[in-house]
Structure 1
Amino acid sequence: MTAALYIHIPFCRSRCAYCDFFSTTREPEMPTYVQALCHEVEARHSELPHARVRTIYIGGGTPSLLSPTLLHQILNTVYANYEIDSDAEVTMEMNPDDLDPPPAPPVREGGSCALISSLQAGGLPSLTGGVGGGSINRVSLGIQTFDDDLLRLIRRRHDSASAIQAVRHLQAAGIRNISIDLIYGLPSQTLAQWEHDLDTAFVLGVQHLSAYALSYEEGTLLTRWRDEGRIREASDELSVEMFQRLCQRAREAGFEHYEISNFALPGYQSRHNSSYWTGIPYLGFGPGAHSYDGLRMRRANLPDLNEYLSFYSSPRGGREGTAPCSYEQLSDPDLHDEAVMCGLRTREGIDLQQFLARFGQSRLDTLLTNAAPHLSAGRLILAADHLHLAEHALMTSDDIMSDLMA
């Protein structure tokens, strides 16, 4: 059995205007947090007794705020407690401004000025102290846009020049698997600005692109500004045109559109994200992180740093008492709906033979009956026992998925 690990680093220097992920600006607590995180990693190793971990993803927050020492500590603990594949994909999220090298030789211990100093011509060095021989071999860079006015609007700390420089630094350091994140449908963003973002991204020579339509989440600064009338949402028509341009430019650049929001050069699909879409078990460590046993059980750590530190910071952290988390047991309809939703997000679509084996003939018949109008309209395609979305229907996928759910 294979599995995936997600490690959450909830610290940020400042909060972006669109972000609703659990994070905090309490950076001084980083060493205490990492110790607690390692206790959770150790305490939960029995949840994957016979699994080989094929991917590790360090996300946030801002993982690039970690010092090399703290990153060593985390990866040492992971490799000491889990069976990690020798060719595991190990991804770390980074911010462009954290990869701007310091102007003077002295390197501070905290943050990515120290991390960038550890990048070497052969790639990031082994960070497991010989325990497992692993290293960071993939970087996901949160650029969002190359337009300086839009970057200021959404409260990003970097500018376009530093974003481009960050990619160049990673490439010079030997990182051969770089993904960048972009957002479209930003307030006041024009089609020309979006085309410039795409042109810049593909010229940089990265291997992977994740591009998301902006969503207005409760509690974010952008949502407040919209509700106050200070900004306006992009029209549906413009968002669709931006998505179509994204698909076209990616195809011209040789990128495969393997999931609704993800594009990669051949051989560079995100193995970690693919785990979520294909039902592979995964453990999530840190406040707000989620886990799935691959069968029916989901776990969600509470998004509360104080509760997390209180439970996991003691020497016996995580081994006694009740963890600050909740559990959800998925019903048959839940599993059916997840299979539909996750399957249709991907290029391969829903494997109908696997669907039949898992849910039975009656549910398969119902699925195909509900799919019939969309098949007739060309929004869905049935080929080689796979049901998948036509590219022009990807922007309306939520409505189609809803029609196919139990």
Structure 2
Amino acid sequence: MTDPAPRTPPPYRLLSRRSWPEARFLADVLRTETVGGGLLLLGAVVALVWANSPWRSAYAELGGWVPWPGGHALHLDLDLATWAADGLLAIFFFVVGLELKREFVAGDLRDPRRAVLPVVAALGGALLPALCYLAVTLTAGGAGLRGWAIPTATDIAFALAVLAVVSSHLPQGLRAFLLTLAVVDDLFAILIIAVFYTASFHPLPLLGALVAVAAFALLVQRRRTWWWALIPLAVTAWALVHASGVHATVAGVLLGFTVPVLPSRTGAAGLAERLEHRWRPISAGLAVPVFAFFAAGVSLVDADLAGLLTDPVVIGVAAGLVVGKTVGVFGSTYLLARFTRAELDEEITWSDLFGLAVLAGIGFTVSLLIGELAFGAGSVENERVKAAVLIGSLVAAGLATAVLTRRNRAYRRISERESRDSDGDGVPDVYQEETA
């Protein structure tokens, strides 16, 4: 009697559907971010129109107004535009910190096999844009090298707003990948900002900030959610990080990392999920749109358009977003599948992934922030960075729309199947079939 031939294990599926609890949480996140993306676009459009209108001086005066001139001793004599970049974006990065903590503890990044794809894709999507930028600027003489990190970031809200506009019903696996990719991408952006864009460093305020963060952590770990204690501690940590010379938004990430993710013994949702549910609408609906309003207002009145379009910084940023992101995300995913012999989920094609890689070239919020840190707010280079980010993001959005809408009919069929609930129990049939 011959031994039966050993069975070949099934190939690992990339971009497969998540479990129903994860899918439900993901749907809530994407819904909020999509609305926030629409407000972000509105803020950017209003800023562009105002900055190029006869009343453009009023726009500049509003951004340059200092609401607290007496805050010099605490380094808080900031204008409104800086308050939006350093203050409001700390809320955005607090939510990012909560997302990262949740992904590492209870999400895809907890499982090494599922984590490797978004991590590798995000790494390729950060490295290739930086190399594109450096190749362009070095060829042109090396001017503007400090802006190498500008095209490395993906703006998830802007990308989701584009998907909403084109009515694309992307499969749940692709949407989950896009969100996780953006979260890992934000982690790289945080590290880049903290390491490469800290102009001066003062250790004593940073030590004080760590004490405030530790006190915040002590309360949240014990599930003490007293707003009258947590908010003052968070503001203190933010102010001290700002005074230390490290970009103040890093404080938001540190605070987010301290929040426990796993649910308590009572069975209620984890504190990180509850805080994310509470603060994400403020981040997506207020913090990011207001920052976009103050950051996107580039004036093209009397501008040398020929000089703008031939500027190495502009070309480098646009090429990094459109070409670098696409090649980085798609190429790294393809190589991962090739060397690990993994296969795409049966409902997803390589053209779908290519469209998603192009969509990842939409960089806005963090790209504009890094542009300000690299060249200084109000500088000529920063104004050109704004134009480059807008150009690159719009080109990426247009190309992604052209690629993804070709399969929109198939996406609708998949979406209908993923949402069908024949027995009316609140759980789509497809998730019950997978666990049967």
> Is this a same-fold pair by TM over 0.5?
no
Higher share in helix: 2
Higher relative contact order (CA 8 A, sep 6+): 2
* TM bracket, shorter-chain basis: under 0.3
TM-score (norm 1): 0.26
